[in-house]
Amino acid sequence: MQKYISVLFFLMVFMAIGQKKQITVEGVFANEFRTEGLDALRSMKNGKQYTVLNRDYKTGRTTIDKYDYTTQKKVETIVDSQNLDALKEFSAYEFNEDESKILLATEIDPIYRHSFLANYYIYDVKTKSVIKVSEGKIQEPSLSPNGTKVAYVRDNNLYIFDLNSETTEQVTTDGVKNKIINGITDWVYEEEFAFVRAFAWNADGSKIAFLRFDEEKVPQFSMDVFGTGLYPTQEVFKYPKAGEDNAEVTLHMLDVASGDISKVDLGNPYYIPRIKWMNNANYLSVQTINRHQNHLKLLSVNAKDNSVNVLLEEKDDAYIDITDNLTFLADDSFIWTSETDGYNHIYLYDQDGNLMNQVTKGPWEVTNYYGYDQNEDRVYYQSTENGSINRGVYSVASNGKNKKALATEEGTNSAAFSADFTYFILTYSNATTPPIYTLHKALNGKEIKEIKNNDSLIDKLKGYELSAKEFSTIQINGNELNMYMIKPKDFDPSKKYPLLMYQYSGPGSQQVSNSWMGYRDYWHQQLASEGYVIACVDGRGTGFKGADFKKSTYLNLVKYETEDQIAAAKKLSELSFIDENRTGIWGWSFGGHMATNSLLKGSEVFETAIAVAPVTSWRFYDTIYTERFMRTPQENPDGYDDNSPLNYPELLQGDFLLIHGSGDDNVHAQHSMRMAEALIQANKQFDWAIYPDKNHGIYGGNTRVHLFNKMTNFLNENLRDRKAEGNLDTKEQPSIDAQIKG
> Could you give the C-alpha distances from 155 to 151, 189, 198, in angstroms and in order?
14, 18, 14
Question: Amino acid letter at 698?
Answer: I
Question: What is the identity of the amino acid at 420?
Answer: D
Classify residue 723 by its DSSP letter.
Answer: P
Beta bridge pairs of residue 164 = none
Cα–Cα dist 385/364, whole Å: 6
H or E segment and range at residue 142:
strand 139-143
Strand 271-277 relative to strand 283-289: parallel, antiparallel, unpaired?
antiparallel
Cβ(659)–Cβ(707) under 8 Å? yes
Is 224 considered catalytic here?
A: no
CA-based angle 589:592:596, to the nearest 5? 155
Residue among 664, 668, 671, 672 flagged as catalytic: 664
Phi, psi of 182 (to 5 degrees): -115, 125
Q: What is the C-alpha to C-alpha distance for residues 122 and 100, in angstroms, rounded to an integer?
A: 10
DSSP 657-700: EEEEETT-SSS-THHHHHHHHHHHHTT---EEEEETT--TT--S
Is 589 catalytic? The answer is yes
Catalytic pick from 589, 617, 644, 672? 589
Q: Cα 8 vs. chain centroid, distance in angstroms?
A: 53
d(CA 720, CA 530): 9
271-277 and 334-338: which strand pairing?
A: unpaired
What is the DSSP secondary-structure string of 256-300? TTT--EEEE-----SEEEEEEE-SSTTEEEEEEE-TTS-EEEEEE
**Contacts of residue 148, Cβ cutoff 8 Å, sequence gap at least 6:** 162, 163, 164, 205
Contacts of 23 (CB under 8 A, 6+ apart): 33, 464, 465, 466, 522, 523, 525, 526, 529
Query: Is 696 considered catalytic here?
Result: yes
Integer angstrom CA distances of residue 709 from 28, 29, 53, 695: 12, 11, 35, 19
What are 262's strand-pairing partners?
253
Taking the C-alpha atoms of residue 2 and residue 484, their distance in angstroms, rounded to an integer, is 51
In order, the DSSP letters of 589-646 are THHHHHHHHHHHHTTTT--EEEEES----GGGSBHHHHHHHH--TTT-HHHHHTT-GG
Q: Which residues are catalytic?
A: 589, 664, 696
